[in-house]
């Protein structure tokens, strides 16, 4: 077992109280609430169905989508924002976000909100416009600066750590599922389901 | 074979023979052996009940089994990575361990005497060897004792070496070109059917926890044995304090906080703390009394000191050939221990041992996945890298010894968990000679990868593997917390089990040694039961 050490972090504000939604064990589907009914959807389907966000506000989601597509093109359409929002609005003990490995205490909503705000503020400071309004070249230049970890005036979680976390979230959503493995030609060799639940 | 089913949180009112705190590698081993020796054993597990059905083959779901207990402040220049390196629930951290089970070497046990570095163990390799032999038979270890030219004396492995896939062959070529050799990595994973357990499918899902019984985790080996011998396992039972007699000479039981918020006392003749390297000292410190004002077992001031974690020397290469890097076990396929002698890299200012774990199975994502090996790459280049690396990726990891430093330690903070117990702070900064060893491993690893014909070669940052020390064993209270059987010098019927006992970290993975020490302790406790617990 191994952990890549992260930079140290301050603590983050408490998230808003949100309803808990559960994952369905055994698949890539999440349980989302849509029009009062629980439905099992992939993050991409949740995005297509415009499932309301519970943890992140619209401004944060817009920055998250834009950043996600710079980090890993196509990740927003794969449902990056819905995936992260789903995890943030559930029970921290059940969280599947990589951030939990990196020395940041739960809850994690504040980490995302602060990081997204800082990225947007950086866009305003450097280019005079919001992050979602940047060209690809402009946004990539800012992400390169974030990845280096030292961004003047940055006010949020350490820029390098925020880059690392969000980049890996995008990879999780795009390549961390059986569909993602298939895109790469990696056999998933999925869930070992022994005939009689071995050992129980 | 059966896994103990979660029992309702009903705790015995009468004293039991033994309370074991924690159900991981150490706790399950001690519990099985003491229960089979006729003792009434109660295992108290702070985390939730987990069975094979919880071990979903997914890098994302795997994160659910990691630590979600009371927060631990993970500090210092090189934090130990507590959440990733531990777990919460039945089976503890060993439920998702990678089952790399090499033995420590004789020179690991008397490093201070030989080299004036670190600490001496209160036992020698020969004292532990019979217990390595016994445990490897119980748990099932695959390996090739003949090809493993560095291996200390011991019984041959009960199963043949694990298979080698193209990733392993590619890296082995590099070692061969440099005139060096590799051997099958000793793994507690089935290379054949073993005691009713099926052969591994080599699908690389070890980090998610093995649900088929191929990997020797506590759910598969020692918890079923403990249950068959009558041991009781209670989940969601957080021990908040170890209780001692008025005169302070004996442990008399524990205070337990249950999920429903109630708190109960359970009495026992023997208490075994097997709650891993951070929680054990936290409990000892939090159980201070008038007779033990600095915490239990802490008359010499050593509780919490000498915390260690292996620095991971991560070396990667990209090959033209299809390495099928997703095949095999998460721990790897091959081993090389040429750098085991402690002064091998002395010219680089380094001290200590390391071994290579070669050709670990990788998934596209996650902390040890393909994508994270190149954290600098993003955008369209990341898609391109993922496609290329899926075909030609290869990696190996040096397990670099961490010299014990007294100030790398676990202390209590003024923050408290939901049960009112102070939470722990772990501070760890790697010793300069250990950092030099890690750097030497990277230089050597790059040479091997280039010799193997990799087109691109790169290395990763210093990671933290495993957590050891904090309740080290030694010859007396003037240099340690426990004796060679894990008994507190100050309170002999309070026993510590697990990697926290290690006075040195060695250059190999700790779990096999955790088991061997636990088996040795259990044997000693049974043999001397009247004296210890009577």
> For residue range A20-46, what is the model confidence (pLDDT) as tens digits?
233 222 235 667 766 677 777 888 888
pLDDT at A18 over 50: no
Give how far A124 is from chain B: nearest CA, Å. 22
Who's near B106: CB < 8 A, 6+ residues apart?
B124, B125, B126, B152
Q: Which pLDDT tens digit goes with each residue over B339-378? A: 999 999 999 999 999 999 999 999 999 999 999 999 999 9
| Distance of alpha carbon A193 from alpha carbon B57, whole angstroms | 10
Contact map slice: A 33-62 vs B, CB within 8 A = none
Strands B16-21 and B183-184: unpaired
The predicted pLDDT at position B54 comes to 85
CA atoms within 13 A on the CB side of B167: 30
Residue B337's nearest CA partner among B401, B395, B394, B393 is: B401
Contact map slice: A 9-38 vs B, CB within 8 A = 25-26
Q: Which pLDDT tens digit goes with each residue over A169-185? A: 999 999 998 889 999 99
Q: Which pLDDT tens digit goes with each residue over B484-510? A: 999 999 999 999 999 999 999 999 999
| Distance of alpha carbon B190 from alpha carbon B174, whole angstroms | 27
Residue A147's nearest CA partner among B381, B354, B452 is: B381
The predicted pLDDT at position B197 comes to 94
| Distance of alpha carbon B162 from alpha carbon B143, whole angstroms | 7
- The nearest alpha carbon in chain A to B328 belongs to A189
| Distance of alpha carbon A22 from alpha carbon B71, whole angstroms | 23
- The nearest alpha carbon in chain A to B210 belongs to A192
Q: Which ranges in B95-124 belong to alpha helices (H)?
A: 111-115
Q: Do A103 and B367 touch (CB under 8 A)?
A: no
Strands B263-273 and B494-496: parallel
Whole-angstrom Cα Rg for chain B: 22
- The nearest alpha carbon in chain A to B48 belongs to A93
- DSSP, res A176: S
The predicted pLDDT at position A141 comes to 97
User: Cα B36 vs. chain centroid, distance in angstroms?
Assistant: 24
User: The whole model's pTM is what?
Assistant: 0.93
Contact B273, B242 (CB under 8 A): yes
| Distance of alpha carbon B339 from alpha carbon B343, whole angstroms | 9
Angle B147-B152-B153 from CA coordinates, rounded to 5°? 95
Tokens standing for B453? 């014909």
Per residue in A29-60, is it b (16+ CB within 10 Å) or e — as a string? Answer: bbebeeeeeeeebbbbbbbeeebebbbbeeeb
Contact A76, A174 (CB under 8 A): no
Q: Do A189 and B203 touch (CB under 8 A)?
A: yes
Hey, is the C-beta of A2 within 8 angstroms of any chain B C-beta? Answer: yes
| Distance of alpha carbon B382 from alpha carbon A71, whole angstroms | 8
pLDDT band for position A143 (cuts 50, 70, 90): very high
Who's near B120: CB < 8 A, 6+ residues apart?
B109, B110, B111, B112, B113, B474, B475, B503
| Distance of alpha carbon B307 from alpha carbon B429, whole angstroms | 10
Which of B58, B67, B73 is the best residue to mutate to test the A interface, defined by the most A CB atoms within 10 Å of its own CB? B58
The predicted pLDDT at position A45 comes to 87
Q: Do B368 and A190 touch (CB under 8 A)?
A: no
Hey, is the C-beta of A180 within 8 angstroms of any chain B C-beta? Answer: yes
| Distance of alpha carbon A80 from alpha carbon A99, whole angstroms | 15
Q: Which residues of A touch B71 (CB under 8 A)?
A: 105-106
User: Cα B29 vs. chain centroid, distance in angstroms?
Assistant: 13
Tokens standing for B326? 């997703």
Contact A99, B70 (CB under 8 A): no
Q: Do B60 and A200 touch (CB under 8 A)?
A: no
Locate tokens 């006729």: which residue?
A: B38
Helix, coil or strand: residue B37: coil
Distances, alpha carbon B46 to alpha carbons B67, B121, B220, B239, B385, in Å: 11, 30, 20, 7, 42
Q: Do B97 and A180 touch (CB under 8 A)?
A: no
Contact B282, B238 (CB under 8 A): no
CA quadruple B88, B93, B98, B100: dihedral, nearest 10: 180
- List the domains of chain B with CATH numbers: 16-533 (3.50.50.60)
- Partnered with residue B314 across adjacent β-strands are B397
Hey, is the C-beta of A148 within 8 angstroms of any chain B C-beta? Answer: no
pLDDT at A11 over 90: no
The predicted pLDDT at position B53 comes to 82
CA quadruple A162, A163, A166, A169: dihedral, nearest 10: -120
**Is the predicted ipTM greater than 0.90, yes or no?**
yes
Q: Which residues of B touch A6 (CB under 8 A)?
A: 79
Hey, is the C-beta of A4 within 8 angstroms of any chain B C-beta? Answer: yes
pLDDT at A86 over 70: yes
């Amino acid at each position: 077992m191994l952990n890549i050490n992260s930079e140290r972090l301050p603590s983050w504000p408490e998230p808003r109280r949100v309803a808990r939604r559960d994952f369905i064990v055994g698949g890539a589907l999440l349980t989302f609430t849509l029009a009062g009914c629980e439905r099992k959807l992939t993050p991409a389907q949740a995005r297509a169905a415009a499932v309301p966000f519970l943890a992140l506000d619209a401004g944060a989601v817009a920055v998250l989508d834009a950043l996600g597509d710079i980090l890993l093109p196509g990740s927003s359409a794969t449902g990056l924002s819905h995936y992260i929002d789903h995890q943030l609005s559930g029970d921290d003990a059940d969280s599947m976000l990589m951030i939990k490995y990196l020395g940041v205490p739960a809850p994690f909503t504040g980490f995302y909100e602060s990081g997204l705000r800082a990225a947007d503020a950086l866009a305003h400071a450097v280019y005079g416009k919001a992050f979602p309004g940047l060209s690809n070249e402009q946004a990539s230049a800012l992400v390169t600066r974030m990845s280096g970890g030292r961004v003047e005036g940055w006010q949020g979680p350490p820029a390098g750590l925020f880059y690392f976390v969000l980049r890996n979230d995008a990879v999780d959503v795009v390549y961390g599922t059986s569909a993602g493995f298939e895109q790469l030609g990696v056999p998933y060799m999925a869930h070992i389901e022994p005939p009689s639940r071995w050992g129980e | 074979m059966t896994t103990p089913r979660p029992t309702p949180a009903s705790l015995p009112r009468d004293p039991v023979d033994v309370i074991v705190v924690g159900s991981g590698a150490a706790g399950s081993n001690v519990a099985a052996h003491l229960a089979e020796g006729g003792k009434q054993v109660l295992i108290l597990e702070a985390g939730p009940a987990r069975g094979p059905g919880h071990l979903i083959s997914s890098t994302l779901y795997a994160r659910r089994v990691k630590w979600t207990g009371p927060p631990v402040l993970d500090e210092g220049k090189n934090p130990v990575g507590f959440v990733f390196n531990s777990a919460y629930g039945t089976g503890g951290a060993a439920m998702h361990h990678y089952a790399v089970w090499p033995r420590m070497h004789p020179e690991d046990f008397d490093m201070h005497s030989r080299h004036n570095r670190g600490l001496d163990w209160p036992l020698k390799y020969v004292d532990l060897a019979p217990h390595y032999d016994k445990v490897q038979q119980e748990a099932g270890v695959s390996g090739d004792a003949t090809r493993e030219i560095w291996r200390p004396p011991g019984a041959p492995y009960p199963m043949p070496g694990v298979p080698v896939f193209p990733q392993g062959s590619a890296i082995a070529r590099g070692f061969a070109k440099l005139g060096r050799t590799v051997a099958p990595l000793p793994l507690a994973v089935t290379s054949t059917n073993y005691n009713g357990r099926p052969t591994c499918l080599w699908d690389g899902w070890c980090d998610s926890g093995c649900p088929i019984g191929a990997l020797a985790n506590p759910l598969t080996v020692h918890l079923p044995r403990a249950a068959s011998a009558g041991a009781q396992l209670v989940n969601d039972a957080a021990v908040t304090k170890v209780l001692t007699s008025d005169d302070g000479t004996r442990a008399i039981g524990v205070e337990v906080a249950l999920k429903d918020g109630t708190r109960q006392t359970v009495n026992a003749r023997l208490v075994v703390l097997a709650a891993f390297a951070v929680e054990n000292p936290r409990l000892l410190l939090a159980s201070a009394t008038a007779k033990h004002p600095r915490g239990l077992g802490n008359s010499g001031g050593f509780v919490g000191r000498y915390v260690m974690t292996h620095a991971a020397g991560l070396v990667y290469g990209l090959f033209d050939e299809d390495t099928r890097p997703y095949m095999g076990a998460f721990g790897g396929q091959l081993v090389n221990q040429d750098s085991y002698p402690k002064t091998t890299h002395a010219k680089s200012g380094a001290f200590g041992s390391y071994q290579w774990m070669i050709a670990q199975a990788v998934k596209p994502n996650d902390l040890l996945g393909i994508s994270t090996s190149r954290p600098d790459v993003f955008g369209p280049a990341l898609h391109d890298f993922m496609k290329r690396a899926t075909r030609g990726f290869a990696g190996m990891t040096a397990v670099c010894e961490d010299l014990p430093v007294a100030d790398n330690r676990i202390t209590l903070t003024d923050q408290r968990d939901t049960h009112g117990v102070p939470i722990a702070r772990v501070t760890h900064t790697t010793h300069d000679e250990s950092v030099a060893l890690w750097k030497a491993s990277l230089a050597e690893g790059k040479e091997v990868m280039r010799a193997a014909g990799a087109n691109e070669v790169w290395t990763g940052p210093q990671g933290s593997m495993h957590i050891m020390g904090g309740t080290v064993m030694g010859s007396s209270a003037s240099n340690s917390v426990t004796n060679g059987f894990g008994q507190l010098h100050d309170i002999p019927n309070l026993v510590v089990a697990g990697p926290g006992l290690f006075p040195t970290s060695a250059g190999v993975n700790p779990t096999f040694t955790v088991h061997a020490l636990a088996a040795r302790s259990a044997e000693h406790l049974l043999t001397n039961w009247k004296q210890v617990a009577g």
